[in-house]
Structure formats: structure tokens, C-alpha cells
């Protein structure tokens, strides 16, 4: 898993306007982060519930379908959530120019 | 509200690969739809919970922030959710070429 995570991290870090990345395993434990400790825990806990909600809704609409990516835009930034089998990556992006 | 909804509907209908649009009021009642009845109810109920989850998470992270748009990509399609004050618009888009 580790090499794959590093590869994804590199990919997201090279994206424009990325201000934070957190990788969270399926138990909700942050395994990589670029944020400070408390903020990492806060994002990990909340985005874990977003991942679960998205997964459930997509399955409920069609049991053969699967949730692959989520982009949540807010007034201040964008949160990207990329689910993988054993973990998910959450990326914070400041608004594009 | 009606003229505003019509304007947004037109905007989304002109987007490429749009296969369905549902407008849902804050009580979870579909007020406009291009889908058949049961599918409309199913999408409305589920996407209402997604809207609420997104709203809560964004507020929990920062009480001065606000959720403005959500894009949920799945293996088969994309679901867009655009929250307004009194309702939200949900758009189903088939994958881009």
C-alpha cells in the first residue's frame, strides 16, 4: 500500500492550489498528513462520514455501481475525496484563479 | 423562486451528457423533475441526505464557511448537487468522452 499512497500523494501535491492532504485508513486513522495534528483528526473524522454517506447513497441507487470520487466546493475552498480500497485521500484545494 | 428554478434548469439542461435533473425543496419534496416518478423520489430522498451531510461537515470544519456545490463521480455516471436557499438541484450526467 505504501508505494501506491506515495504515488497518489505526489500526484495530488503537484496539483495547483493544494493546501493540505490527509490519507485516512478504513478505521478512520490518518496515516499521512500535511496538516497539523488536531486539524488532521478533525478532517479525517468528518471526511470519513462523507465517504461512508457517498458510498451508501451510490450503492442504494444501484447496487452494481460504485463511488469513485467526490468534490465538495465551499465558499472558501474545495475538498476532494478519492476513495481507495484500504484508505481514502482527502485533498484541500484553495479556489482556482 | 419559479423563474430562478427555470433559469437554472435551462442552464443544466444545456450541459453536455445530462441524463436527468431533479429539483428538491427543503422539505425533501421534488418540485421539478425529468425522471420518472419512483426514480425521482429515490434520488430526492437520498440526495437530500447528501446535501445535509455536506452542509454539516463544512459548517463543522468552519462555522463561517458554506457548502456551495458537490460533484459525486461513480463508475457509471456523475451526480451534481447545487444547493440554493429554498431548494437544491440534482443533475445526473453520463461520463464525459
Query: How do residues A28-77 score in pLDDT, each as one tens digit?
Result: 999 999 999 999 999 999 999 999 999 999 999 999 999 999 999 999 99
**Cross-strand partners of B89:** B23, B82
What is the C-alpha separation between A3 and B36, in angstroms, rounded?
A: 46
B90 min Cα distance to partner chain A (Å): 13
CATH of domain B1-93: 3.30.450.30
Return the SS3 of A69: strand
By a Cβ cutoff of 8 Å, what residues of chain B touch chain A? 42-43, 46-47, 49-50, 53-54, 57-58, 60-62, 64-77
DSSP B7-23: HHHHHHHTSTTEEEEEE
What is the C-alpha separation between A92 and B7, in angstroms, rounded?
A: 31
Whether B87 and B48 have beta carbons less than 8 Å apart is answered as no
pLDDT in tens, chain B (97 residues): 678 888 888 888 888 899 999 999 999 999 999 999 999 999 999 999 999 999 999 999 999 999 999 999 999 999 999 999 999 999 999 976 5
Entry pTM: 0.91
Amino acid at each position: 500500500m505504501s508505494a501506491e499512497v506515495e504515488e497518489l500523494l505526489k500526484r495530488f501535491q503537484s496539483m495547483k492550489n493544494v493546501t493540505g492532504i490527509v490519507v485516512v485508513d478504513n478505521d478512520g486513522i490518518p496515516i499521512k498528513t500535511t496538516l497539523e495534528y488536531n486539524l488532521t483528526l478533525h478532517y479525517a473524522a468528518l471526511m470519513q462520514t462523507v465517504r461512508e454517506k457517498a458510498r451508501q447513497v451510490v450503492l442504494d441507487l444501484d447496487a452494481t455501481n460504485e463511488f469513485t470520487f467526490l468534490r465538495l466546493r465551499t465558499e472558501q475552498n474545495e475538498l476532494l475525496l478519492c476513495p481507495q480500497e484500504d484508505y481514502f485521500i482527502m485533498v484541500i484545494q484553495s479556489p482556482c484563479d
